[in-house]
Amino acid sequence: MANPFSLQGKVAVVTGGNTGIGQGIALALADAGASIASVARRPSDETVGQCLAKGVKAISIQADLGSMEPIERIVSEATAGLGPIDILVNNAGIIRRADAVDFTEEDWDDVMNVNLKSVFFLSQAVVRDMIAGGRRGKIINTASMLSYQGGIRVPSYTASKSGVAGLTKLMANEWAKHGVNANAIAPGYFATDNTQALQDDPVRSKEILGRIPAGRWGQPSDIGGAAVFLSSAASDYVQGITLPVDGGWLAR
């Protein structure tokens, strides 16, 4: 029997693939055999180099997902460089912190544009291409613990990540008939740039670690198995889920 987790011959686009969780996902998909297009505001030289060292093709696409401008270009550059897209991982995200009574419209719009609007419209562009080519495909969105909880001082982030969980279900409902699986991963508290303020706050860091049964912050490599599963034939009958990878945070 063929390995249902193999991604040999597949092309994956990973947004926010230059660092952190996105880089961890890109490297895990490369280990499984996928060619990687890493999309980020800054060049993904490190990610591309590590993927090439694994014997797969890899390219860097520089794009700011705060606007609609790069959506079609991402699809065309990935397709030109690697071939038709089989897997899209919508991982790019930003966060802004302030009390809700002081939160600005600019911070609201900036976060929603990257974390939710681009997720939908990039997925739409990729799935249109999948449908036109008659190909199966996988869409994986990055949700959050704040897809389940309210959090504090991050109103636009909470709203965007709650929206990602709902949007993932909508995608599954509409696109399953086309052979496209849409699912999400909800990382717990990972040691990345987005959580640096929490890691640096001794009170909040202690509170967070005290609730995680695994007793540690997640590392980008911890997310890879879930991403490979949801990208592979092993998940062909999985639709619309948000899979927590949280060290047991939600179980506590």
Q: How far apart are CA 242 and CA 163, in angstroms?
A: 12
Find all residues with CB under 8 Å of 24, minimum gap 6, and list them. 219, 220, 221, 222, 223, 224
CA pair distance 239, 195, nearest whole angstrom: 29
- Residue 21 is which amino acid? I
Active-site residue 157, yes or no?
yes
CA-nearest of 87, 52, 68 to 185 is 87
Strand-pairing partners, residue 39, are: 15, 61
**Phi/psi zone of residue 60: left (φ > 0), alpha (ψ -120 to 50 degrees), beta?**
beta
Please identify which of the residues 148, 157, 189, 237 carries the catalytic annotation. 157
Contact 38, 58 (CB under 8 A): yes
Active-site residues, by number, are 157
